[in-house]
Structure 1
Amino acid sequence: MPGLIPWPPHIWLAVSPVDMRKGADGLSAIVQQALGHKPCAGSAFVFRNRAGNRLKLLLWESPSTPRPARPPPRRRPAPDVF
């Protein structure tokens, strides 16, 4: 079914497990070294943990801005100090 997912054009799945503590820089290094691709080429890269129950997505919106794999944590408002 062409056109089901219009963007990104390619989705790559890393088969070997990855340390989920890695951020965008660490996952970009894996994409460059192990997979041999450019992380900012417009493709999506999916990584899994050792147990296989969590996924992390690396997706670039533009060549200079990585899109975070998950939303930033919610922060509590600072308490009023009297």
Structure 2
Amino acid sequence: MIPIPSGVRVWIATGHTDMRRGMQGLALQVQEQLKRDPHVGDLYIFRGRRGDLAKVLWHDGVGLSLYAKRLDRGKFVWPSAKEGVVSISAAQMAYMLDHPC
């Protein structure tokens, strides 16, 4: 589990993301497509096309971190919107990452 400080906002990048992207590529996607600053301390969650891999991008005030979780079976539940960003709570994020369908 990611040690999330209280007050941190969590954003889900809707749709599918090219999961070959690393830290810098995802940070650029946050800036250009989501129109947000990836360095303000919010968490950004991305999911690949198959739905079994999620990446979390987070700047903790010191540096940028990238967390990844790949499921052995099942898929992550994801918003149905094709593009954009959806805000969720840290508790919702924890449930989403720990309870795939």
TM-score over 0.5 (shorter chain): yes
CA displacement, residues 23-73 of structure 1 (integer Å, 9 cap, x when unaligned):
1100001000111100011100000000111100001112x5111324xxx
> Structure 2: which 5+ residue stretches go unaligned?
69-101
Q: How does 1:18-37 map to 2 (within 5 A)?
A: 18-37=17-36
Higher relative contact order (CA 8 A, sep 6+): 2
Aligned partners of 1:8 and 1:43 also within 8 Å: no
Listed as ranges, the gaps of 5+ residues in structure 1 are 71-82
Whole-angstrom CA distance in 1 between matches of 2:36 and 2:17: 17
Aligned runs of 1:37-76 on 2, under 5 Å? 37-62=36-61, 65-70=63-68
Structure 1: which amino acid aligns with 2:6?
W
Q: Which has the larger radius of gyration?
A: 1
Query: What stretches of structure 1 move > 6 A for 4+ residues in a row?
Result: none
**Partners of 2:24 and 2:7 in 1: CA distance:** 20
How many residues are treated as equivalent by the alignment? 65
Which has the larger share of helix? 2
RMSD (CA atoms): 1.7
The 1:6–1:55 alpha-carbon spacing in structure 2 relative to 1, beyond 3 Å, is same
- Normalising by the residue count of structure 1, what TM-score does the alignment of the two structures yield? 0.70
